[in-house]
A and B are shown apart, each in its own frame.
Chain A
């Protein structure tokens, strides 16, 4: 019986998520969870960025933001992203649309996984559904 109890205790330690959560907390303390980074198009052209997570900000470069109108008069934007690191990056993107007065008119309800190989360049595109949507905010978070 003395042999069984340590075995049970070992099983308890190995099988319980509470132990994993403790480890996760320690890990998160050293390596904080990912945060969203934003890039928003500007009426005068170009874009502004809000960097909340420097770890991804130093790896994935936002090269350009292009804004145009569709035949129906809806705004379309394209963001060029490049993985400037030597490791594969897994990022998630989504879009929010803003009216000229800054109010949010549309928001994409999900993140789209966008894997990027080292050095790879990708273009993410979004088209507004509403005419009043004038500017686009790209939300970007690492895996």
Chain B
């Protein structure tokens, strides 16, 4: 009987759980976490901010030269802010709507070395921002809000020509699957 109960325990342990499957990263069946920014949150905030940014007068004509500034992650979650920026830069660059300056140290040094008379693109705009979070709960219900703030600064005048804020709020008692 002792062996039988051990076998039953083993069946219990092995039989439970959901096997891993591939999911469409653009679909509706993704994990929704209350305490972290999910991949679909970056996509949602990024696409809405992209729509807002391209409607600004700065993007009405031509392909302005854009440099990426600092995006501060002011949340408790550790993630790469490129997850947000790529949602804006990838469509813009591929559609030819911006000239994106490479931002690494080598590229910056090369631009400095070429001197002011050289025909190298100079940043006309710098995109910078911040990601914040706000948490609250009522009983067992938890709520997490992630605030995405972006600002486009015109280098020549040093003024913000576009700024936007998108808030993604999630509420529940535990993490779940699906929107």
Chain B residues within 8 Å of A, Cβ to Cβ: 1, 4-5, 8-9, 11-12, 15-18, 26-28, 40, 43-44, 47-48, 51, 54-55, 57, 59-61, 91-92, 95-97, 178-179
Interface check A113, CB cutoff 8 A = yes
Knowing A5-B5, A17-B18, say if A90 contacts B26 (CB, 8 Å): no
Given contacts A127-B55, A143-B178, list 6 more A-B pairs with CB under 8 A: A5-B8, A8-B9, A16-B15, A71-B60, A72-B61, A112-B44
Contact (Cβ within 8 A) A8 B60: no
Contact (Cβ within 8 A) B51 A126: yes
Main secondary structure of the interface of A (DSSP, over half): mixed
Residues of B within 8 A of A103 (CB): none
Encode contact with B along A121-140: 1 for CB under 8 Å, 0 otherwise.
00001110110000000000
Residues of A within 8 A of B91 (CB): 106, 129
Q: How many residues of A contact B (CB 8 A)?
A: 33
Contact (Cβ within 8 A) A110 B15: no
Encode contact with B along A26-56: 1 for CB under 8 Å, 0 otherwise.
0000000000000000000000000000000
Expressed in whole angstroms, the Cα–Cα distance for A106 and B95 within the complex equals 9
For residue B92, which residue of chain A has the nearest CB? A129
Residues of B within 8 A of A129 (CB): 54, 91-92, 95, 97
Interface check A15, CB cutoff 8 A = yes
Residue from the list B12, B43, B55, B96 in contact with A8, Cβ < 8 A: B12
Interface check A109, CB cutoff 8 A = yes
Contact (Cβ within 8 A) B12 A130: no
Nearest chain A CB to B36 CB, angstrom units? 17
Interface check A18, CB cutoff 8 A = yes
Nearest chain A CB to B85 CB, angstrom units? 15
Expressed in whole angstroms, the Cα–Cα distance for A17 and B12 within the complex equals 12
Contact (Cβ within 8 A) B11 A109: no
Interface pairs (29), CB distance under 8 Å: A1-B1, A4-B5, A5-B4, A5-B5, A8-B8, A11-B12, A12-B12, A71-B57, A71-B60, A71-B61, A90-B179, A92-B179, A108-B47, A109-B47, A110-B26, A111-B26, A111-B27, A111-B28, A111-B179, A112-B44, A112-B47, A113-B179, A126-B51, A127-B51, A129-B92, A129-B95, A129-B97, A143-B28, A143-B178
Residues of A within 8 A of B57 (CB): 71
Residues of A within 8 A of B96 (CB): 130
Interface centre among A110, A125, A129, A143 (most CB of B within 10 A): A110
